[in-house]
Every structure is written in C-alpha cells, then in structure tokens.
Chains A and B, each alone.
Chain A
Amino acid sequence: MTVRRLALRYGLRVGVLAAALGLWQGLSAAGVIRADEFPSMSQTATALWDQARTATLWTAIGQTLEGWAIGLAIGAAAALLVGTVIALNSFAYHSVIGVIEFFKAIPVIAILPIGLVLWGATLTMKFALVAFAVFWPLVIQVCYGVRSVDPVVRDTASVLRLRGPRRFALVIMPSAAAFIATGLRVAVAVALIVDIIAELIGGGSGVGVRILLAENAGPSAYPVMYAYIVVAGLLGVLLAGAFTIAERYVLHWHESQRSAAVERNIYPERTEVTLAVSLSPGRWPGADPGVAVRRVVRRVVGAVGWLEVAVLPAARVDRQGAVDPVGDRPGPRRPVLQS
C-alpha cells in the first residue's frame, strides 16, 4: 500500500465527513431543517463539547460500559462453557439444539419488560438482559465451531494419540477459535446495542438514559440528545475496533489472519506449497524479533528445494485501522456467522 494510496483514501474519508457535516450545517442554516425539530451541526457539536468538559459524559459512558462488560462476560463465559460441553456430546447436541434455536429466535426486546418487573431500572436488569441476548447466538456459534474441526485435523490428532484435555486444548480449541472469534465479535456489538436499549427504555443510568432525559426535556435539549446519539455510535465503533485488534493479535497464527498478508496479485500455485509465516510483532513498529527467526526458517526450508517459502512479516498486513471490516483487500475466508 503506497503512501499515495493511503493519503488518497484517508483524504477521501475526511472529505466525505466534512461534506456531510457541512451539508447538515447548511441545511440547518438555510432553514430546510427546522430548528425546533432538529438541531444544527454546530449546536450538536457544542453540546457534545460541553458534555465532554464536565464529568457527565464520562460518567454516562462508564455506566453504560459497566452493564456492557458484566453482561458480556457472563453471557460469553456461559456460552463458551455450555457450548463446548454440548458440542462434544452428539446426543446432547441434537436434543438441545432445537430449544436453543427457539430461544435465539425470541426478540430480546420481549424480555425487557420481564427484566424491568424483576429488577427495576438497575444495573442488574441491564447486565441480565445483555447476558441473555449474548448467550443464545454465541452458544450456537461455539457449538458449530467445536463440531467443525476439520476431519483431517481430527484424524491426525487420533493418529498422534492425543486424547482428552490435551486433544481439546491443542486441537479442538484452536480450530474452533476462529468461529468463536466471529461469534464474539458480533456479541460485542449486540451487547452494546442491548445495553443501550435497556437504558433508553428501562431507565437507570448511562448513555441511553441521557438520551431519554434530553428527549423528555424538550426541543431545547435536542442538541444534547443528538450529541449522545453520536457518542453511542462512537462507542460501538471503538469497542468493535478494540476487539478486532485483540483478535488479530490472539489469532495471528490462524489462516484467516495469515492469508491477509499474502500478496493479492500472486495467483496461488497449487503445485507449490506457499508458506506464509506471519509473525505478529508488527503491532509495535520498530520491534521486529521475527527477523532473525524468519532468516533461520528460510535457510532451513530453502534447502528443501521443492518448497517455496514466502515469508512475510505481519506488518505488511494493511493497517487500515481495526475499525474497517470492509477494507481494501478482499476478505480472506473468515467463518461466516452461523445464524
């Protein structure tokens, strides 16, 4: 990725944002958007800035994140545990899967009133709802991941006489990891959405509540309301981005991350075995302990004449920022979410 292309791309993005904001402000100033219905861009920006200067914004974010984090942790832990246990036993899987699919199809919004009745507008209600919403799709994804271990890998493990916990840790978990990662990525977003819905409708504290309060305070508070709406979106983007970075780091060895480092324009020769050994120190530019390792690997493997080794550092992976799932390179095959 040349500097020029990068500059062009980010220039375009900034340009689009500037144009959109400018358009908003222009429409407000021209009266196309009525001031008592929808605040202007400058009003919203000012409101956002004001909120950011005081503790209100940050407290609200903290409160939202509390519910998000606790609910996500409970839901994910439960899903991982239950999912693996069910998936390893074929009988259990086939008996239970229908029930799970049923509960997954229930709109989480239907559970909200129950939560309100049980716990009122509290943190408990929030994280309980989040955990419930996160659990069902994730447990299905975990099951699918565990059951989808490549038969060749499974057979190799049998031949190598790996059993029990060892087999689980060394063979099953890594294979299922990519599916689980996909499920977690969605869970992160879903958890935030449900969390904010719970606040918006149920009450309590957090960003959603701020939006609700601003709405009820009438048109004069609309700038604040829209400021918090923007905050809600930004929060989602940041959390999803942080997750993608974490995923890339933890799963650097997996082929869906690795193949992103292989050059696009080399058509994969199928008679050659192209090993892209991607080591991940690229996270911290400058530190590259992988270089020495790669040199050794290249020498050893190069001696075996028929293996062609392309050793590419992970720093070559296009760093568009973790926020960008639809970036320039067409996707290496990531497991699709099993819905």
Chain B
Amino acid sequence: MTTALVPVVSLVKVRKVYGGAAGPRTALADITFDVARGEFVCVVGPSGAGKTTLLRCLAGLMPPTSGEALFEGTPLRSVPEGIGVVFQDYSRSLFPWLTVARNVDLPLRVRGMGRAGRAARVAEVLASVGLADAGRQYPWQLSGGMQQRVAIARALAYRPDLLLMDEPFASVDAQTRFELEDLILRVRAAFGVTVVFVTHDIDESVYLSDRVVVLSRSPGVVSEIVDITLPRPRDQLATKRDPAFARFREHLLSLVMTR
C-alpha cells in the first residue's frame, strides 16, 4: 500500500550509456530527482539531452546502466502496473485494426475486467477526453488532435498512478495544442494522476507544470529544477498574461539555450 509520503517516482544517480557504433554514448550521466504524488512535472532540455531516454527509463522500458529508478518505492525491472504512457507519434501507437473503443478497451481486457465494467469505463474515459461519440470509428478516420485524445484515453483507462507523456503535442497544430494542454490539466485534476511530461516547448512547460526539470545536453544531467508558482487553475489567456509567466519563461529559456 503506497502512502502519500512515498514519492511516485524517484531517480537516484541514474546513468544510461548506449554501446554505439562510434563508441559508447552517454545519454544520461547523473539524473536525480523525485516526483511527489499528484505533481505535474515537465522535463525540458535541448535536443540530444536524453529526454526520451529518461522517459523510457521511467516507464520501465529500458533499465538504467547504473543508479536507481524507483516507482512507488520499488526498483523498476520491467514495465510496472500503474503506469500509462502517451507517445508522440499517435498514428503509430494506436492500433489501426481496432476501433477507438476497442483500442481503449484493450488494457482493460488485459487486466481481466468484465464486459459491463469495460464498456462503462471506456465510455467514461472517452467522454472525459471529449470523444464520447467516436467509439465506433477507426483511429485513422479521426484528426490528429482527436487521435492523441484517444491515446490519452487509452493510457488513462486503467487508472494508472503515473502518466508519462513523450512530447505528446509536438505533432499537432498550435490551436489544437492549446486545447489539448487544457484537456490534460482537466483530466489530471479529475483523475488525480501524477504526470511527467517531456517537452521541448518552454511555454508549454511553464503553463502546465508545478515543477520543471531542466536537463543539460549530452551527457544529460539535471541543471536545475524550477518551481512554477503560478496559481491554479491555469488559463491560456490569464496565466500567460501574468508577468511571472514571462519571468519563468525567460529563466528557463536562458537555461536551455546556454547549456
């Protein structure tokens, strides 16, 4: 039984080295930070800083070379129960041979939920992402933004404790991106899930998060962790008008651009 005090994610001196063709490549050199329950943490950094590698370590897809990656107190050996992941490329992540409802339903079937329960849960989670009527369509029949919503719904269907998102809104247009950002904030408030969100978009990271972890470029270390003290609930117009927003933005930009 995990208590509120145990951090959902705990990384201690995590290192990841790839044995590459041109010699070993250190993607992550020394990553140490925690994520508390219910927090929204963004990870930003320049290209090549190893953000995706970090996310894969957090998901249990890839073991670190050294150091410890803990999920709710236990070391990650493989993908644990209680994690949801949203990938950047929704068209490749969603299964095109299944309808939207079937896609969302799949993790529930894996977990042995009964038919009635599954139907109810699928309807609920699709409604929460604004796709109540899209169940019978195929993912490729929907627009990019809607497909990513399906991916989010699928990740949340089984009520994970931790939601990992790998630049999820990078492949959609700007308008849709704002809608999806608000969506993810609403959904997180509704389901109470902890979120680790990787992005290269500084504005997005300031808008969404409680804390921002800044990675330096290869070899990746944590250059700084910035507390975002902007009030919640966030709003696209009001929050971005706040002078504090611009200050945070400038600070982060300077960190990312010099490193």
Please give the residue numbers on chain A whose beta carbons come within 8 Å of chain B beta carbons, in ascending order. Answer: 261, 263, 265-267, 269-272, 306, 308, 310-312, 316
CA distance A277 to B20 in the complex (A): 15
Given the complex, which residues of B lie within 8 Å of A271, measured CB to CB?
Answer: 47, 167, 170, 200
A267 adjacent to B167 (CB under 8 Å)? no
B33 on the interface (CB 8 Å rule)? no
B120 on the interface (CB 8 Å rule)? no
B38 on the interface (CB 8 Å rule)? no
Given the complex, which residues of B lie within 8 Å of A272, measured CB to CB?
Answer: 47-48
Please give the number of chain B residues whose Cβ is less than 8 angstroms from any Cβ of chain A in the complex: 18
Given the complex, which residues of B lie within 8 Å of A263, measured CB to CB?
Answer: 18, 20-21
Given the complex, which residues of B lie within 8 Å of A308, measured CB to CB?
Answer: 47-48
A266 adjacent to B20 (CB under 8 Å)? yes
Given the complex, which residues of A lie within 8 Å of B56, measured CB to CB?
Answer: 267
CA distance A156 to B48 in the complex (A): 29
Closest to B27 in A: A266
Chain A nearest CB, measured from B30 CB (Å): 20
B103 on the interface (CB 8 Å rule)? no
A267 adjacent to B47 (CB under 8 Å)? no
B20 adjacent to A306 (CB under 8 Å)? no
10 smallest CB-CB distances across A and B, nearest first, come from A272-B47, A312-B21, A271-B47, A308-B48, A316-B21, A263-B21, A269-B52, A263-B20, A271-B200, A272-B48
Closest to A271 in B: B47
CA distance A145 to B128 in the complex (A): 44
Complex partner residue of A266 from B18, B46, B89, CB under 8 angstroms:
B18
Contact with A along B15-52 (1 / 0, CB 8 A): 00011111001000000000000000000001110001
Chain A nearest CB, measured from B259 CB (Å): 11
Given the complex, which residues of A lie within 8 Å of B223, measured CB to CB?
Answer: none
Closest to B167 in A: A271
B22 adjacent to A267 (CB under 8 Å)? no
Chain B nearest CB, measured from A153 CB (Å): 20
CA distance A311 to B20 in the complex (A): 11
Chain B nearest CB, measured from A334 CB (Å): 18
A270 adjacent to B21 (CB under 8 Å)? no
CA distance A267 to B53 in the complex (A): 8
Chain A nearest CB, measured from B120 CB (Å): 36
B88 on the interface (CB 8 Å rule)? yes
Given the complex, which residues of A lie within 8 Å of B20, measured CB to CB?
Answer: 263, 266, 310
A-B contact pairs, 25 of them (CB 8 A): A261-B21, A263-B18, A263-B20, A263-B21, A266-B18, A266-B25, A267-B52, A267-B53, A269-B47, A269-B52, A270-B89, A270-B167, A271-B47, A271-B167, A271-B170, A271-B200, A272-B47, A272-B48, A306-B46, A306-B47, A308-B48, A310-B20, A310-B21, A312-B21, A312-B22
CA distance A271 to B25 in the complex (A): 18
CA distance A311 to B22 in the complex (A): 8
For the A-B complex with A270-B170, A306-B46 known, give 14 more contacts whose Cβ atoms are closer than 8 Å.
A263-B18, A266-B18, A266-B25, A267-B56, A269-B47, A270-B88, A270-B167, A271-B167, A271-B170, A272-B47, A306-B47, A308-B47, A311-B22, A312-B21
B22 adjacent to A310 (CB under 8 Å)? yes
CA distance A263 to B167 in the complex (A): 23
CA distance A316 to B20 in the complex (A): 11
Chain B nearest CB, measured from A307 CB (Å): 9
Given the complex, which residues of A lie within 8 Å of B21, measured CB to CB?
Answer: 261, 263, 310, 312, 316
Closest to A273 in B: B47
Interface centre among A261, A267, A272 (most CB of B within 10 A): A267
Chain A nearest CB, measured from B60 CB (Å): 14
CA distance A316 to B21 in the complex (A): 8
CA distance A261 to B21 in the complex (A): 9
Closest to A307 in B: B47
Complex partner residue of B48 from A265, A269, A270, A312, CB under 8 angstroms:
A269
Chain B nearest CB, measured from A265 CB (Å): 6
Given the complex, which residues of B lie within 8 Å of A267, measured CB to CB?
Answer: 52-53, 56, 62
CA distance A266 to B20 in the complex (A): 8
Closest to A313 in B: B21
